[in-house]
């Protein structure tokens, strides 16, 4: 049986370990750019702990109770409050010499939200708090059973109980996660075609990466 639990401090390391070995080996655009785990392991647990400590508790794990509560899924969300200083950006955890591809990815994700007025797009006041998903991952062998949908739904329930949260948002990089969010009623407000994206040095970083041909980030 799969059960869902809020991520508490005792699980930070185990969740970081799960995401390093699951999310980063399966997520499509990291794979396409040739991201290797040695560009993730050094900083990821610190970054994750920082996010989880900074935000209201809205992140969940899926546990398989038939397998000693093994972690088989995780969603990392945060509540962005315009009245409060947000968490440090991922980039501040990265070393450009050691983690150049991860820097490219972080830059791409920043560019994605550049110039986007999420409050206007959602018709909400700029004082609204935003429930944002950063990572969503389900273990190999557990896909297609609705675990991702349940993880998202658990996070949303927790977020809705927090005063002032009126927006939920995410960037999706996988066709499956796109389906998950559409089915839960999310609307696409911005779409970027990978092949048309130019990095700050003018290079089309995704060109030639056949895994991403015809895919978009939303
Ligand atoms: C994206 C991800 C979290 C989806 O998890 P999941 O638990 O399989 O999702 P769900 O079971 O809720 O299914 C979502 C949809 O994708 C489909 N799907 C999931 N895995 C599938 C597979 N291997 N083949 C075909 N369809 C699949 C499901 O059938 C479902 O569609 P439906 O509602 O039309 O039936 C998981 O594939 C994953 O961890 N991928 C690697 C990391 C990643 O890319 N994360 C998202 C980055 S934004």
In angstroms, the Cα distances linking 1 to 10, 160, 209 are 22, 26, 38
Task: Give the pLDDT confidence score for residue 212 in this predicted structure.
Answer: 57
Q: Is the CB of 145 under 6 A from ligand 1?
A: yes
**Per-residue pLDDT reduced to its tens digit, 159-189:** 999 999 999 999 998 888 999 999 999 999 9
pTM of the model: 0.93
For the CA of 178, the nearest atom of ligand 1: 48
What are the residues whose beta carbons fall under 8 Å from the beta carbon of 18, sequence distance 6 or more?
61, 71, 74, 137, 139
In angstroms, the Cα distances linking 8 to 14, 52, 58, 123, 150 are 11, 8, 10, 33, 18
Low-confidence ranges of the chain (pLDDT < 70): 209-218
List the chain domain ranges: 2-217
Indicate the class that CATH gives domain 2-217. alpha beta
Q: Is the CB of 3 under 6 A from ligand 1?
A: no
Burial 59-80 (b: 16+ CB within 10 A, else e): bbbbbbeeeeeebbbbbbbbbb
Nearest residue by C-alpha to atom 3 in ligand 1: 137
Residues 51, 79 contacting (CB under 8 angstroms): no
Measured CA to CA, the distance from residue 206 to residue 122 in angstroms comes to 29
CA 175 to ligand 1 center in whole angstroms: 8
Q: Is the CB of 59 under 6 A from ligand 1?
A: no
Q: Is the CB of 180 under 6 A from ligand 1?
A: yes
CA 177 to ligand 1 center in whole angstroms: 6
Token look-up 């969010």 returns: 181
Q: Is the CB of 21 under 6 A from ligand 1?
A: no
Mutate to test the pocket of ligand 1, among 4, 60, 77, 143 (most ligand atoms within 8 A of CB): 143
Nearest residue by C-alpha to atom 18 in ligand 1: 144
Task: Give the pLDDT confidence score for residue 218 in this predicted structure.
Answer: 47
Residues 65, 3 contacting (CB under 8 angstroms): yes
């Amino acid at each position: 049986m799969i059960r869902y639990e809020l991520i508490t401090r005792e699980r930070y390391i185990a969740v970081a370990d799960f995401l390093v070995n699951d999310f980063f080996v399966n997520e499509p655009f990291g794979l396409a750019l040739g991201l290797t785990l040695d560009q993730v392991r050094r900083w990821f647990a610190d970054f994750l702990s920082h996010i989880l400590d900074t935000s209201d508790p809205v992140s969940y794990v899926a546990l398989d109770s038939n397998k000693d509560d093994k972690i088989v899924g995780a969603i990392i969300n945060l509540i962005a409050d315009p009245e409060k200083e947000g968490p440090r950006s991922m980039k501040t955890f990265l070393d450009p010499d050691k983690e150049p591809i991860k820097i490219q990815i972080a830059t791409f994700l920043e560019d994605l939200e550049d110039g986007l007025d999420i409050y206007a797009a959602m018709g909400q006041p700029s004082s609204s708090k935003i429930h944002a998903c950063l990572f969503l991952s389900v273990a190999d062998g557990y896909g297609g059973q609705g675990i991702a949908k349940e993880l998202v739904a658990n996070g949303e329930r927790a977020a809705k109980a927090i005063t002032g949260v009126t927006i939920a948002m995410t960037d999706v990089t996988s066709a499956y996660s796109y389906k998950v969010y559409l089915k839960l009623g999310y609307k696409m407000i911005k779409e970027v075609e990978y092949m048309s994206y130019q990095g700050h040095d003018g290079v089309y970083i995704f060109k030639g990466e056949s895994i991403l041909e015809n895919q978009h980030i939303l």
